[in-house]
Amino acid sequence: MSAESDSVPFSWRDTESVVIEKVDAVAVYTNPKGDLVIRQEDPRGDDDAIIIVPKSRARDLIMAIQSELDD
């Protein structure tokens, strides 16, 4: 890092500079029943957020996510 880059105050709250904000880990797997499980790590170490989607509806979820990305 050069001294020049240190001369300008930096803030992680500067939304123009930060291009990727912190994201808690996300896991996707199937449970023993064959359901799709989407799990996001709780940063405090408490209860993770968990979404369980029946395998028969997984494609519907994927299509809905894709639709949101296409907008």
Find out whether 62 and 56 touch, Cβ atoms under 8 Å: no
The predicted pLDDT at position 41 comes to 95
Q: How far apart are CA 54 and CA 39, in angstroms?
A: 14
Q: If DSSP codes are grouped into helix, strand and coil, which group holds residue 11?
A: coil
70 vs 6 pLDDT, higher one? 70
For residue 3 the two structure tokens come to 């001294």
Residue 5: predicted pLDDT: 58
**Rounded distance between C-alpha atoms, residue 24 and residue 7, angstroms:** 31
Determine the pLDDT at residue 4: 53
- What digits encode the pLDDT tens for the residues 13-69? 777 888 888 889 999 999 999 999 999 999 898 999 999 999 999 999 999 999 999
Task: For the full predicted model, state whether its pTM sits above 0.75.
Answer: no
